[in-house]
């Protein structure tokens, strides 16, 4: 299965979709997906044979619940195995093959988002959008202040505002070191444009649907005013599945 997933999961979800579309899908060749203990891990097996990541490592999760979620994704494949419909497996592959070996670089990238986090940049008008941003984003800013000890400054428009180093350090201290949590937080951060939303999700302050709604306040407002963009909604559906996969990781560790 390595070649099927090898080019299916770059950091950009849309690029993943394009690559997956170019793949020649493989016919389902197994009857049953299952889990089996592998040391301290829980491996995914197809007809009792191990599954390998694109880099040749064992596809195995740190908890049984997470391994079972991966198995469910493999069981859901019908006649053909479609990596584009397996976001949890793609995320697991990227964590096992990538995050585990470059955790410092991944954490640093998340920290960079904190310096220009989505929830800190507010619209000046129209009033309805301003009120919606306040309703969705102010609780996250307050949570960062009260729970993380990070006092973020807010800006109007797109002009960059420099955050105090003490604020960035306090928020960065909440970035998890565990590779699986780190990979999930990184995924949510890049999907939403907000490390604060990702950290709030990781710590149970918000649910996945709340994080998703908060990340799309502006886009939803624009569609309400100007009409639905079906192509944009199609892209969103793909990204939403990616976020749900990251939430599944966080919920099952």
pLDDT of the chain along its 253 residues, tens only?
Answer: 555 455 444 444 444 444 544 566 889 999 999 999 999 999 999 999 999 999 999 999 999 999 999 999 999 999 999 998 999 999 999 999 999 889 999 999 999 999 999 999 999 999 999 999 999 999 999 999 999 999 999 999 888 999 999 999 999 999 999 999 999 999 999 999 999 999 999 999 999 999 999 999 999 998 888 877 778 788 889 999 999 999 999 999 9
Regarding the domain delimited by 2-97, which CATH topology (the fold level of the hierarchy) does it fall under? ATP12-like (3.30.2180)
Going by their DSSP bridges, the two strands 49-50 and 33-38 should be labelled as unpaired
Query: Quick one: pLDDT at residue 19?
Result: 53
Query: Quick one: pLDDT at residue 229?
Result: 77
Please give the model's pTM, rounded to 2 decimal places.
Answer: 0.90
Gap between the Cα atoms of 219 and 221, Å rounded:
5
Spatial contact of 111 and 189, defined as CB atoms under 8 Å apart: no
Please choose, from the candidates 207, 194, 193, the residue with its C-alpha nearest in 3D space to the C-alpha of residue 251: 207
Q: What ranges do the domains of the chain cover?
A: 2-97, 102-251
Q: Which residue has the tokens 């800013």?
A: 141
Gap between the Cα atoms of 3 and 53, Å rounded:
9
Query: Quick one: pLDDT at residue 233?
Result: 81
Gap between the Cα atoms of 238 and 233, Å rounded:
9
Regarding the domain delimited by 102-251, which CATH topology (the fold level of the hierarchy) does it fall under? ATP12-like fold (1.10.3580)
Query: Quick one: pLDDT at residue 223?
Result: 87
Gap between the Cα atoms of 86 and 94, Å rounded:
13
Q: How many CA atoms lie within 13 A of 168 on its CB side?
A: 16
């Amino acid at each position: 299965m390595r070649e099927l997933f090898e080019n299916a999961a770059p950091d950009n979800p849309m690029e993943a979709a394009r690559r997956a579309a170019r793949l020649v899908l493989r016919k389902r060749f197994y009857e049953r997906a299952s889990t089996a203990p592998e040391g301290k891990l829980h491996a995914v097996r197809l007809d009792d044979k191990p599954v390998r990541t694109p880099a040749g490592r064992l596809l195995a999760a740190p908890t049984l619940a997470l391994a079972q979620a991966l198995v469910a994704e493999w069981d859901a494949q019908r006649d053909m195995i479609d990596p584009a419909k397996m976001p949890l497996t793609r995320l697991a592959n990227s964590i096992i093959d990538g995050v585990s070996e470059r955790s410092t670089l991944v954490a640093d990238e998340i920290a960079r988002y904190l310096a220009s986090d989505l929830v800190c940049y507010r619209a000046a008008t129209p009033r309805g959008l301003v009120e919606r941003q306040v309703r969705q984003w102010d609780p996250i800013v307050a949570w960062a202040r009260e729970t993380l000890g990070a006092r973020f400054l807010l800006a109007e428009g797109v002009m960059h505002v420099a955050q105090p180093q003490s604020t960035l350090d306090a928020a960065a201290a909440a970035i998890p070191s565990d590779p699986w949590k780190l990979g999930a937080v990184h995924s949510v951060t890049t999907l939403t444009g907000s490390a604060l939303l990702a950290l709030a999700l990781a710590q149970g302050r918000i649910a996945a649907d709340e994080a998703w709604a908060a990340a799309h306040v502006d886009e939803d407002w624009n569609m309400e005013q100007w009409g639905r963009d079906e192509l944009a909604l199609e892209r969103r559906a793909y990204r939403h599945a990616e976020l749900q996969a990251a939430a599944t990781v966080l919920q099952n560790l």
